[in-house]
Amino acid sequence: MTFLWPWALLFCLLVPLLVWLYRRSLRPPAESVVLHPDVAMLVRARRNSGNWRQHLSAGLYLLALVAAVFALARPTLPVLQADPRAALVLTVDISRSMQATDVKPSRFEAARAALRTFIRELPEGIRVALVTFSRDAQLVVPLTADRGRLLEAVDFLELNLGTAIGDAILESIAALPPLSERADAPDPKSLATIILLTDGRSLAGVDPVEATQEAARMQIRVHAIGIGRTTEGPVPGLPEQYALAAHFDEEVLKEIARVGDGEYFFVDSASTLKDAYRNLTRQMMWRIRRDEATAVVSLLAAGLLMLSLGLAQFRRRVV
């Protein structure tokens, strides 16, 4: 914790004086003599005066004063925040093979649910774009911090024929800010990221690895997620003509992640897909922002003061 007005902490030097005055008030001067009919009761009361509960109200009052001094000094606390220059493209396969049901309830529905969760959990301020691909690639939502717009676009995704992974990567590169806007960052790749999700092999367009090499030249990080299966054979929920396209090439996705300085994830369930996206959320570019916490500390001081006064009133005895 740091303070905008640290000089105000000098008032804490008065605390020892307040403690001394309080202790002094507990010892009346010897010359103050009075007659009392029951000396034994006074002796017992004196013995009980050492009970810590008797001083609890005063202690809370002292803590309230210290908290008030801290509030006067205007404390600040570090808060993690996404770098406002950070940009992310969610690149999603919408080929017909995504209707396969080997991932429950289907690859497509599992992907949409994971995307919704990922978008909601992203750090505030980060800009996100959405690119979809089948036989070609399309920028559905350009970079935006509007989470509602992204969620609405995910809800309206529809499946189509074909799988053009390389074209999708190139379209994602075009959606990101140019390298010149990130060149002064310690790690320009941390400010431009593509997360590719596919369940099949590229059947058209540019070679995916060549497209990833272009991303690497532009200092863009590329993560690859393969959903479904890598082995051949019948796929639940798909006609036979889509079976070949429903098995992704794991070696190609691993190479995309390697060239793109990213990570590769193989997922075969809705839960592991959500875990993969959560893992990538933690890798977003963060920076530390300091927020003033005066209001919080002032509220603490007020609470301690009210508690002290309430306790003192409760323990009050009228003779």
Q: How far apart are the C-alpha atoms of 128 and 114, rounded to whole Å?
A: 15
Q: Are 143 and 185 in contact (CB under 8 A)?
A: no
* Residue 134 to residue 3: CA distance in whole angstroms: 55
Cα–Cα distance between 211 and 204 in angstroms, integer?
13
Give dist(CA 273, CA 92) in Å, integer: 13
pLDDT at 195: 92
For the chain, the domains span 2-28+38-78+290-314, 84-284
d(CA 305, CA 311): 10
3-state secondary structure of 241: helix
User: Where do the DSSP E strands lie in the chain?
Assistant: 2-3, 75-82, 87-93, 127-133, 137-144, 192-198, 221-227, 264-267, 286-292
Superfamily designation of domain 84-284: von Willebrand factor, type A domain (3.40.50.410)
**What is the rounded CA–CA span in Å between residue 134 and residue 210?**
18
**pLDDT value at residue 319:** 44
Tens-level pLDDT at each residue, the chain (319 residues): 677 778 877 878 877 877 777 677 766 655 555 555 555 555 555 555 556 666 677 777 788 888 888 888 888 876 656 677 788 999 998 888 888 888 888 888 988 898 998 888 887 778 899 999 988 899 999 999 889 999 999 999 888 888 889 999 999 999 998 888 887 777 788 888 999 998 877 878 899 999 999 999 999 999 999 887 766 666 776 766 666 666 778 889 999 999 999 899 888 888 888 888 888 876 665 556 667 778 887 888 788 778 877 777 776 654 4
Nearest to 84 by CA among 286, 278, 222: 286
pLDDT of residue 318: 45
At 132 the pLDDT is: 94
pLDDT of residue 45: 54
Residue with tokens 């676009």: 153
Give dist(CA 218, CA 179) in Å, integer.
6
Distance of CA 8 to the CA centre of its chain: 33
204 strand-pairing partners: none
- Residue 283: the pLDDT is 66
**What pLDDT is recorded for position 125?**
75
DSSP symbol at 123: P
Residue 106, amino acid? S
